[in-house]
Amino acid sequence: MGVFILRRFVSAILVMFSISILVFLIFFATPGVDPAARIAGRSATPQVVAQVKHEFGLDRPLPIRYGLMMDHLFIKQDLSSYVNVGYKVIPQIEAAAPVTLSLVLGAAVIWLIVGVAGGVIAAANRGKFIDPLIMFLGIAAISVPAYWLGQVVNLITQSKLHSSIFSWVPPSGYVALSSNPGEWALHLLFPWLTLAALYAGIYARVLRAELVNALNEDYVRTARAKGLSERRILLRHALRCSLISIVSLFGLDFGSLIGGAALLTEVVFGLPGVGQLTYTALQNLDLPVIMGTVMYGAFFVVLANAVVDVAYGFLDPRVRLA
C-alpha cells in the first residue's frame, strides 16, 4: 500500500510537470501570436512590450523561457499583472484560494451526506413511494442552474423575507475562518447549499443505480444465504462496493470545483474566490493571471485525482496490484 501511494504521487508530480509545459507552450509558443503583446495587455506602450520581452526572456530559446516562467511563478513568485499594474499574481491566488476551498469543502460535505443518504434510502425502498420521490427531487436539483438558484436564494433571504424569518442571514461576502468561525459558516451557509444541490442530486441518482446493480450481484445472494440482515447486506456489502464509483465521481467534481468551476456560485454570492479571479482576468485578457489560475486549477485536479486513486486502493483491494 505504501509503495502504491508513493508511486501514485510520483506520477502525479510528473503529470503536473507535463501540464506546466503544455500550459507554457499554449501561452508562449502558439504560432502567429506575439506573447509579449498579449502579456502587456490591450493598450500597452512599446516600452512596456519591450520590458515584458526582456522579463520573460522572449528573445531567448524556449527551454530558457520555460525556466524563467517557472521561476516567476513558483520560486520568485513575482509574476505580475500588466493590466492592473502592480498586482502580483501569486498573492492574488493565495488570497482567493481559501475562499474557494471553504466554499467547495463545505458544499462537498453537504452533498456527500445528502447524496449518499438519498441514494441508500431510495435503493432500500425500491418500488415504494419514497424511491421515486427522492429521484424526482434529485432530477429537480440537477435541473436548476446554480446562478438561478443562487439568485432566488438571495432574493428570498436578502430581500423578500429578510425582515422576518431570514433576518439572521448576513449580507453576501466572505469572512475568513481565522477571523470569526461563526460568521464564516453563516456567510457560507447558503452558498454551500446552493452549490451542493446539483451534486447531491447527481450523487443520489448515481448511487441508487449502483446499489440496485450491486444488489443483483452474486455476492449479495451469498450474503443473504449467510443469514445476514438486509440492512447489513445493503450497507456493508452493496454500499461498500458501490462507493468506488462515487469516489471517482467525487474526485473529478471536487478537483474541478476547487480549480475554479464554482465560478457561478462565487459570483452570485459575491465570494472573491478563484473562479471569480479567473473570470475577471479573462474579461481583461490578463494573461499572467490566467496562466497562474490555470496552473493552480490543474494542480488541484491532479491532486484530487491522486487522492482519489489512493482512496480507491483502500476501497478496492484489486486496484492495489495494478
Partner 1 sequence: MHAVDGLSLSVGRKEVVGIVGESGSGKSVSMYSMLGLLREANVSVTGSVKFEGRELLGLADREMRVLRGRDIGMIFQDPMTALTPVYKVGWQIAEQIRAHQDVTKAQARQRAIELLGEVGIPEPHRRVDQFPHEFSGGMRQRVVIAMALSCNPKLLIADEPTTALDVTTQAQILELMGKLQDTYDSSIVLITHDMGVISEIADRVVVMYAGRPAEIGDRRAVIRTPQHPYTWGLLGAVPRVETKRSRLATIPGTPVSPLNVPTGCAFAPRCEHRFEKCDERPTLRGDGHLDACWLTIEQKVHLRAGAVETGGHA
- Give residues in contact with partner 1 (CB under 8 A): 127, 217-219, 221-230, 237, 240-241, 315-318
Shortest separation between residue 310's beta carbon and partner 1, angstroms: 16
Nearer to partner 1, 65 or 237 (CB): 237
Torsion, Cα 295 299 301 305, to 10 degrees, reads 150
Residue 15, Cβ density class (10 Å: 0-12 exposed, 13-18 middle, ≥19 buried): middle
Nearer to partner 1, 196 or 223 (CB): 223
Nearer to partner 1, 187 or 237 (CB): 237
Nearer to partner 1, 70 or 209 (CB): 209
Shortest separation between residue 311's beta carbon and partner 1, angstroms: 13
Cell digits for 87?
498586482
Shortest separation between residue 315's beta carbon and partner 1, angstroms: 7
Cell digits for 222?
451469498
- Cα–Cα separations (whole angstroms), residue 95 to 51, 92, 103, 182, 193: 27, 5, 14, 20, 23
Nearer to partner 1, 137 or 228 (CB): 228
Cα–Cα dist 27/42, whole Å: 16
Cell digits for 186?
453563516
Nearer to partner 1, 60 or 126 (CB): 126
Angle made by CA atoms 275, 279, 284, in degrees to the nearest 5? 150
Shortest separation between residue 304's beta carbon and partner 1, angstroms: 22
Rg, the chain, Cα only: 24
DSSP labels, 52-80: HHHHTTTTS-HHHHHHHHHIIIIIS---B
Shortest separation between residue 5's beta carbon and partner 1, angstroms: 18
Shortest separation between residue 272's beta carbon and partner 1, angstroms: 42
DSSP 8-state symbol, 180? -
Nearer to partner 1, 142 or 315 (CB): 315
A 10 A CB-CB count for 51 gives 15
Dump strand ranges (E) for the chain: none
Cα–Cα dist 161/156, whole Å: 5
User: Cell 458501490, residue?
Assistant: 242
Shortest separation between residue 235's beta carbon and partner 1, angstroms: 12
Shortest separation between residue 222's beta carbon and partner 1, angstroms: 5
Cα–Cα dist 214/256, whole Å: 28
Nearer to partner 1, 68 or 228 (CB): 228
Cell digits for 62?
524556449
